Structure formats: C-alpha cells, structure tokens
Amino acid sequence: MPVAYRNQHYAELKKQHNKENLFEDPEFPATNSSLYYKKPPPGVVQWKRPGEICENPHLFVEGISSHDLNQGIVGNCWFVAACACLALKSNLWEKVIPDWKEQEWDSNYAGIFHFRFWIFGEWIDVVIDDRLPTINGQLIYCQSKQNNEFWSALLEKAYAKLFGCYESLAGGNTGDAVVDFSGAVVEAIDLQKEKYYADQNKQDKFFEDLLKAWNRGGIISSSIKPQGFRLESRTDNGLVRGHAYSVTDVKRVRLGHGLRAYFKNETIPLIRLRNPWGKTEWTGAWSDSSEEWSKIGETERGNLGITVADDGEFWMSFTDWCKNFSDADVCRLINTSLISIQKNWDEAVNFGKWTRNSDPLLNRCGGCVNHRQTFLQNPQYLFDVTKESDEVLISLQQKDRRIYRKEGQGDNLDIGFRVVKVEVNRKYRLHNMETLKSMHKSTFLPARMMFMRCELPKGRYVVIPTTFDAFMEGEFMLRLYTDVDSGCRELVKDKPQTKCWTPLFGYPQVVTHIYVDRAEIGQQGDQAEGINPYLIISCESQSVKSIAKKNSLTPEFQFSAIFFRKKVREPLTVQLWSDDLGSDKFLGQVTLSGRPDDVSHLQQLQLKNKGSKEADNMPGKIALRILTSDELTAL
C-alpha cells in the first residue's frame, strides 16, 4: 500500500469536502513559501483554481499525450521531459495518477487531487488542492496545450510539494523524475565519451540495446552539455544546449517504396524526440520537411505519424543523435516477475547509511579508495554469483537532497561504488586492502543514482558503496539484480562472536588468508587434454573447493579462502586435484604452518605427496600467498 505523505489520506479528506467546501491544503499553502525560496516569479502571482482559469476544466482532454505538455517559467525541462515520457506509458501513468476517472471534474469535485511517486523504494501518495499559481490569469508553470486540461499542472504541483516549493524543481535530471514515476533503474550514458558516432559496429550494438529497452517499456531521454555556451542557447541545427529532450520513439524504418521496399528490406535506425517547450526543433536530416522523407513509402510515413509543424517533436537519424547529443538517460523497468516471456531478474534491495563514528570499527563513511586508511570502514554488501558467469546490474541511489535547497544544502553527494572479489568462504567484514581483488568500479558523480552492468564469473563478491570524500553522511539504497538468487546481504560483523558455548570449543586465536594464484602441472608432458585441475584448501574441520579449470597444465586460479583458527599449531593444506569424470586424481599438495611471522609475499612451492609418502615430491608447483595475524580484524 502507498504511504500517505504527511499522513494526509486522500479518501478521508475528500469525504470531508465538497463543491461548497473546497479543500485547501495546509501542508502546501497558496503562499510565496510554496513558490520560491530565493527567486520570485516575474509578476504578481494569484492562486486560482482551474474553474477560475477556464470553463469546463478536465484532468484529461481527449486522453493523455506527450504533446500535452509545455514548460513554464521554472527551469524544470527535465521534469517536463519525464512527464512527456510518462504519457507514452499507460502502465506507468495510471500508477502515478491513480483513480484518474474518479478524479475527473464531476459532481464529486471537492478541489482535492492525489498523485503517487516512487520515492526511495516505496510509493508515496501526495495529496494537493487545485489552487495553481497564475500571472495575469495564465498558468506560470507546466501547462497543457489545451487550456482546460490540468493533469500536468496538478502533477507538477504534487511533485513541488514533495520537494518544498516550485523553485526546488529548477535544474535536474530527467532520469531522476522517471525513477520517481516508475521505480526504474537509470543508466547514464556519456555519448561523447563513448564515441558511438565514430564506430559503426559499436553504434549498431548500442541501437539494438536501446531498441530492446524501449520495446520492453523503458524510458529514454537525452541532453546536450552547454560546454562553454550559454545555457539554453541554440545550435546551428535547431537543438538547445543544456536542455532535456524526451525520446518518444525508437524505430528501424524501412526505406523504399511499394513491394520493392519489402523485398529489399533496407532499413535505417531513427529516433524521435520532443522538446518540452513544445516548439524549436531539429532542422537537419529527417527533420519534419527534409528531403530524406522521400526515401520512405507513404504507408511507412503514415505509420510514423509525420507532421510538418513546429510542435517540438521531430525525428533524426540515430547517427546524428549520437553525434549531436552528449548525454542520455536510459531508464530500464527491471522485470522481476516469475511469470513472463521476457527475461526476469532476481532483485535484492538494501537500505543503508553513511554514518560517522570515531571508532574505526563503527565508522561507516570512509570515502572512496583514495582514502586507503578508511575505505573499508564503509558499508559492505556480500553476494554470490552461482552460475559459471552472470550479468549483474547494480544501482546505487542516494536519498534526494533537493528538499534541503531552502536551507542552502540541497546538493547531492558525490557517490559511487566498487565491486571486489573476496574469499569463497568470507562471512565477516573486509579489513585489509592488500587482500582485495577489484573487479569493477563506478565513476563518482554528484548524481542521485549510479548504475553499472557487468559480467562476473562464479564466485563471492562484496560491493562497497561510498561517497567520494571521507566522513560525508547520507542515506542510500543499493539494488542488485542477478539471474538467480545472489544471497545479497550486508556484512555487519567484524569477526566471530563469543557465545556462551564458545569456551567448550575454544576461541579463534588467529585469522589466516590464503590466496592461490596459479599452478604448474608437470607429469603430463604437453598433454593437457583431460587435465581439469581444481583446489581444495583445508583448515581444521573446514575446507573450500575451487572451480575446475578445463584442459590446463598451467591453471590460473586466483582463488582465496579465509579461516579463523583455534588450533594455531595445526597446519593448513592446499591440495591440487584433477576432475576426471568421477574418478578424481590427486596431483599434489603443500602444507603450510600459517604462523603470523611466516613469509607473506607470493611464493612458488613444490607440490608434495600425502599420507605416508608426504615427503615425496610431486611433479609440479603452486604459487600462493599466505597471511596470518593474531588480530582477528586484521584481514
């Protein structure tokens, strides 16, 4: 169930009001405090209800459309672009605008409306009255082309209420608003850095990815960095710098006329965009009246709905889009349903905080890896990849700070994360930078959400969400998607806990970390066929096993394990075996004392036999590193 914002319940409040007693929202009053905190609107503002602005007001006029919206005087093109995207997705806008038929003007009109937003992991129901700010009788913020249609103006007011006032909506990312409309994860793509326009193969793959995201209900927007130009200045081809555009279609369009076009099957990738201003369009190839449209048959043109009008919507080639735009936000609706013909993902959601504490074991805001002394004091989340290889999606979102703009503290933190491979039996928090193998890392940006897609081999991993600077406090949500359950959970304990029965079984005295880099198998000559080596590392009553490396005499394992040891004098063993269709073959072992004063650098050791022939050499060597400490939080 959605959470009622500020404990205002729409159904209860509506029962208390009617046409003679219209609702007035005490939580977002019709005063200057709801308009601005710094820059007042350019004129005398009067708050008017829709019925005072026009005759016969409606929530929707002839349905909902991306063409409905025009931006007002506040610089929130990012939000208006997101609304245009929302209008294209009925499965989304019907969640954001609930009970939309019941909310239409009728005999039950009481001046009260409600909208829903997905805020930091939960749906929030926001109640508003319909008093809207006007100057000279005209709406000054978001408005529909039809002067008696008010869904966009009311939706904008509800969003402004969430963040304190209308001015708080000035400047932002379209992807953030789309996430608030849907719960999607947003992937920010730097089009210029990736240089898709210069690499045709890379561009083709990117288009197919966007087309798939679009066809699966994804929402896409793009913008152009000002890069030294004045904000909202225009390029020579009609585009606007520092301005958000909503993508309203992604299509592979058939070239040619008549039956020949079908047999020839020549296509071109096109993308359609909309300027939230409702005017000012691209004037290059495939613009409204360009000669390129003569290459398209009439039926195809009809299907695309080409209109020659300055309505803010236009087509362009995908190549031109990659070349002229600098940034894109791709919002993916991740399918977690078990009953679906589309790929479904397993989702793990964790909420956490970066909190400051003078005790290093309790501090949870250690900053990025540049701060080596404090980096591992950050929150840590462990997960497993149980397939041979799996695509992993990671989304880190910080709590929106826009609401603090009135106090001058509304800037996002610079956030990011790092994924490290850890010991296959790791259960406790990481404490030693030297034992880490970093797999992937995000950039650090003052963005509300950071996203990564990566392919990871089978193993155990820890993702560490951080701020860029140390000792910066804030709240975050970490979402992780895998093909199968990853068992994602926060690591909260630093070492094994003392329990009432611990004295009966003994206390851990030391902690030992073993890392096996590689091996050389000598007795098989050059014939690696059928030699599938794997490791078994044993300590006291515990043992861990690596995956087998197929047909290799020089396997690279990069495999590690960690043990909290009670019997310090009992050695550890690392055994090398070959997986041979059920009759596994022993290839040798090394025995390690694991004392704190042992050699800790990478060393190459001769394989030995086991049992009564333990002193005998076996043909092969193994390269490993072993670290032992009597401080249980050292590793």
List active site positions: 77, 243, 275
Task: Order across the sheet with 46-48: list the strands.
Answer: 46-48, 132-135, 138-139
Please give the Cα distance from 394 to 417 (Å, whole number): 9
**How many other CB atoms sit within 10 Å of the CB of residue 504?**
7
Give CA separation, 370 vs 56, 367, 567, in Å.
Answer: 61, 8, 37
Q: Are strands 3-4 and 122-129 parallel, antiparallel or unpaired?
A: parallel
The answer to whether the beta carbons of residues 317 and 286 sit under 8 Å apart is yes
Q: For residue 527, give every residue at least 6 positions away whose Cβ sits within 8 Å of its Cβ, in sequence order, or none.
A: none
Please give the Cα distance from 161 to 177 (Å, whole number): 14
Query: Measuring CA to CA, which residue among 515, 512, 537 is closest to residue 625?
Result: 515
Q: For residue 163, give every residue at least 6 positions away whose Cβ sits within 8 Å of its Cβ, in sequence order, or none.
A: 169, 400, 402, 403, 405
State both tokens at 205. 């793959």
Query: Measuring CA to CA, which residue among 234, 58, 43 is closest to residue 150?
Result: 58
Query: Measuring CA to CA, which residue among 510, 634, 611, 496 is closest to residue 567?
Result: 510
Q: How far apart are the first and last CA of the chain?
A: 44
**How many other CB atoms sit within 10 Å of the CB of residue 45?**
17
Query: If you count them, how many residues does the chain have?
Result: 635
State both tokens at 593. 């004392």
Q: For residue 46, give every residue at least 6 positions away whose Cβ sits within 8 Å of its Cβ, in sequence order, or none.
A: 133, 134, 135, 137
User: Residue 556: beta bridge partners?
Assistant: 518
Angle between helices 77-87 and 151-162 (to 10 degrees): 130
**How many other CB atoms sit within 10 Å of the CB of residue 516?**
23
**Coil, strand or helix: which one is 92?**
helix
Please give the Cα distance from 385 to 193 (Å, whole number): 30
The answer to whether the beta carbons of residues 352 and 465 sit under 8 Å apart is yes
